[in-house]
Amino acid sequence: MNKLIAPSILSADFSKLAREVEMINSSEADWIHLDVMDGVFVPNISFGFPVIEKIKEYATKPLDVHLMIVDPNRYFEKFKAVGADILTIHYEAETHLHRSVSAIKNLGMKAGVALNPHTPIALLEDIISDIDLVLIMSVNPGFGGQKFIENTFNKILKLKKMITKNESQALIEVDGGVNLSNSAKLYKTGVDILVAGNSVFSSVNPKQAIKEIKSAQ
């Protein structure tokens, strides 16, 4: 099992973006998580291509881009161009999921599929062997700082069984309400990558917070 952490830049201080990215570069973080929201799929708007391109200039870690937008397939090539290394799309936003996953991989990015809290794991049965990661939302997407939904642990266990049964290489990522109090249990339940936003950037020492969450026992 992997123990990776991807700090979410959505919770960073955007007036000091270069400094925040440099902090992640020099920390024990593995990826940089970017939440792209369009105000339609979720009730919030975050940032777009110019910001991602600028982050890529400073980043020394892979960019883990999570699309919370409608019709994401329109922009795959553009996200590749601005520096996305991992591109995750929502099951709920895609009519032709297999086609979109193939398109992402053909562009040279790793392909992820995200599930909202109400979406059953079973819906991934027919595609689990084709994707590189599954992102389980442990809050309703759209805003940072929300309370962790406890049923997430049950979903992780179901997903782990599905991955094993299908001999899939898919990693499990969890996003929402991740902090030092639940990180150890999440890793033990089978999570490979934890996305941590508010718990990192609201900390007095973000680098230490990253280290503590990642090394939680």
The one-letter amino acid code at 112 reads: G
Computed on alpha carbons and rounded to an integer, the radius of gyration of the chain in Å comes to: 16
121 vs 142 pLDDT, higher one = 121
Q: What is the separation of C-alpha 59 from the centre of its chain, rounded to a whole number of angstroms? A: 16
170: its two tokens: 């898919």
Q: What does the pLDDT average to over 100-125?
A: 97
Provide the pLDDT for residue 2. 81
146: pLDDT strictly greater than 80: no
pLDDT tens digit string along 23-48?
A: 999 999 999 999 999 999 998 999 99
143 band by pLDDT with thresholds 50, 70 and 90: low
**Residue 216 confidence (pLDDT):** 87
Q: How confident is the model at residue 147 (pLDDT cuts 50, 70, 90)?
A: confident
Q: Is 144 a residue whose pLDDT tops 70? A: no
Regarding predicted confidence, which is higher, 142 or 152? 152
Spans of all domains in the chain: 4-214
Per-residue pLDDT of 67-86, as tens digits, reads: 999 999 999 999 999 999 99
For residue 175, the surrounding DSSP H or E stretch is strand 171-175
Judge whether residue 62 has pLDDT over 90: yes
Task: Determine the average pLDDT of the residues in 88-93.
Answer: 97
Query: What whole-number distance in Å separates Cα of residue 30 and Cα of residue 21?
Result: 12
In angstroms, what CA-CA distances link 77 with 87, 108, 109, 137, 165?
Answer: 11, 10, 10, 25, 33
- Of all residues in the chain, the percent with pLDDT exceeding 70 is 98
> What dotted CATH number matches 4-214?
3.20.20.70
Q: At residue 211, does pLDDT exceed 70?
A: yes
If you average pLDDT over every residue of the chain, what do you get?
95
Q: Which residues of 12-42 are buried (b: 16+ CB within 10 A; e: fewer)?
A: beeeebeebbebbeebebbbbbbbbbbeebb
**Catalytic amino acids?**
35, 175
Distance between start and end Cα atoms, the chain: 14
More confident residue, 140 or 113: 113
> Residue 145: pLDDT band by 50, 70, 90 thresholds?
low
Residue 1: predicted pLDDT? 64
Provide mean pLDDT across the span 166-192: 96
**pLDDT for residue 217:** 79
